[in-house]
């Protein structure tokens, strides 16, 4: 509220962050009006660059300052999560060239996420931040210095970018199609997210060696290192066969 009545310094941290917000909101509006792909691609590239820099200075400097002054933790956690979702979409867009069916939808969802984030930041976080005991001009200068550094040297890869780079290029065009494809084949959606079998090769080997059936040993040694569950299944099958044989033997013995 104070900002409506007081002329704030141009270096003020909140003024600077608000300028960034206005710039990306302008790009989102421009995208909605753009009529050709070339223009749209230019807007997407500009918006992504702005967003990467803005998110980095907030995460490196602004949010930690607010956290150190005990500004509403829940709001800041939410802001972190909104950044995370935005960075996932940005990482996917970075792997696309604009020809994909979902490219425009992805950028639209990114813009909606960011507009919501800006609304919460300006409406809830900034007013609370303004009350803390911090020199906002000094903070603003720090943000500006880091921003210039990032513009000159580039933004370091985010965790989300590293994660996405492991996925095959083009596999993220339609999330629904990807999910369908993976579920039909029975393969996990993301291999790197699936825990490896808890059965350790050594432990399983020792289990196999206690089974006197030679066939079990062979089966186990071939499959152990690949799929723990398959090895377990094979072992129980062999054990069942062994038990059936023993039962049969006992029956013959009893019948004598
Ligand atoms: Fe922001």
At residue 178, the pLDDT reads 72
- Mean of the per-residue pLDDT values for the chain? 79
Tell how far the Cα of 59 is from the centroid of ligand 1, in angstroms: 9
Average pLDDT for 18-34: 97
Tell how far the Cα of 92 is from the centroid of ligand 1, in angstroms: 21
As to burial, measured by CB atoms within 10 angstroms (0-12 exposed, 13-18 middle, 19+ buried), residue 232 is middle
Distance of alpha carbon 245 from alpha carbon 254, whole angstroms: 14
At residue 195, the pLDDT reads 53
Per the CB < 8 A criterion, the answer to whether 127 and 46 are in contact is no
Rounded to 5°, the CA angle 106-109-115 comes to 140
Three-state SS at 171 = coil
Tell how far the Cα of 118 is from the centroid of ligand 1, in angstroms: 6
Instruction: State if pTM tops 0.85.
Output: no
Per the CB < 8 A criterion, the answer to whether 71 and 132 are in contact is yes
Q: Which residue has the higher pLDDT, 5 or 125?
A: 125
Tell how far the Cα of 122 is from the centroid of ligand 1, in angstroms: 8
Tell how far the Cα of 91 is from the centroid of ligand 1, in angstroms: 18
pLDDT band of residue 7 (cuts 50, 70, 90) is confident
199-221 confidence digits (pLDDT tens) = 544 444 444 444 444 444 444 44
Tell how far the Cα of 97 is from the centroid of ligand 1, in angstroms: 26
Tell how far the Cα of 121 is from the centroid of ligand 1, in angstroms: 6
Tell how far the Cα of 62 is from the centroid of ligand 1, in angstroms: 9
41-83 confidence digits (pLDDT tens) = 999 999 999 999 999 999 999 999 999 999 999 999 999 999 9
Tell how far the Cα of 129 is from the centroid of ligand 1, in angstroms: 13
Tell how far the Cα of 75 is from the centroid of ligand 1, in angstroms: 13
Tell how far the Cα of 151 is from the centroid of ligand 1, in angstroms: 17
Q: Which residue has the higher pLDDT, 230 or 69?
A: 69
Tell how far the Cα of 76 is from the centroid of ligand 1, in angstroms: 11
- 186's tokens: 């029975």
pLDDT band of residue 2 (cuts 50, 70, 90) is low
Tell how far the Cα of 119 is from the centroid of ligand 1, in angstroms: 9
In DSSP notation, 131-148 reads: TSS--HHHHHHHHHHHHH
What are the C-alpha distances in Å from 38 to residues 31, 45, 50?
11, 11, 19
90-109 confidence digits (pLDDT tens) = 999 999 999 999 999 999 99
pLDDT at 251 over 90: no
134-190 confidence digits (pLDDT tens) = 999 999 999 999 999 999 999 998 889 888 887 755 555 677 777 666 555 555 555
Q: Which residue has the higher pLDDT, 118 or 227?
A: 118
Count the residues in the chain.
Answer: 256
* Helix ranges, 6-135 (H): 13-33, 37-57, 63-68, 73-94, 103-120, 126-130
Per the CB < 8 A criterion, the answer to whether 140 and 12 are in contact is yes
Tell how far the Cα of 55 is from the centroid of ligand 1, in angstroms: 7
pLDDT at 14 over 70: yes
Tell how far the Cα of 11 is from the centroid of ligand 1, in angstroms: 16
Distance of alpha carbon 224 from alpha carbon 222, whole angstroms: 6
Q: Which residue has the higher pLDDT, 207 or 118?
A: 118
Phi and psi, residue 12, nearest 5°: -55, 135
Q: Which residue has the higher pLDDT, 115 or 208?
A: 115
């Amino acid at each position: 509220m104070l900002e409506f009545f007081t002329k704030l310094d141009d270096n003020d941290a909140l003024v600077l962050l608000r300028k960034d917000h206005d710039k990306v909101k302008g790009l989102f509006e421009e995208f909605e009006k753009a009529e050709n792909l070339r223009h749209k691609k230019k807007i997407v590239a500009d918006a992504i660059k702005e967003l990467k820099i803005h998110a980095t200075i907030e995460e490196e400097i602004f949010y930690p300052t607010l956290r150190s002054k005990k500004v509403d933790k829940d709001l800041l956690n939410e802001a972190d999560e909104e950044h995370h979702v935005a960075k996932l979409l940005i990482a996917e867009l970075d792997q696309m060239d604009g020809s994909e069916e979902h490219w425009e939808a992805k950028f639209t969802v990114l813009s909606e996420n960011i507009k919501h984030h800006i609304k919460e930041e300006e409406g809830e976080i900034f007013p609370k931040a303004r009350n803390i005991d911090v020199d906002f001009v000094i903070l603003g200068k720090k943000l500006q210095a880091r921003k210039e550094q990032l513009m000159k040297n580039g933004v370091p890869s985010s965790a989300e970018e590293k994660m996405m780079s492991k996925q095959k290029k083009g596999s993220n065009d339609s999330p629904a199609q990807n999910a369908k494809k993976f579920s039909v084949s029975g393969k996990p959606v993301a291999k790197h997210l699936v825990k490896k079998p808890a059965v350790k090769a050594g432990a399983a080997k020792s289990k196999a060696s206690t089974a006197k059936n030679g066939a079990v040993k062979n089966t186990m040694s071939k499959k152990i290192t690949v799929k723990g569950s398959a090895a377990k299944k094979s072992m129980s099958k062999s054990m069942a066969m062994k038990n059936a044989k023993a039962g049969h033997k006992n029956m013959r013995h009893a019948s004598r």
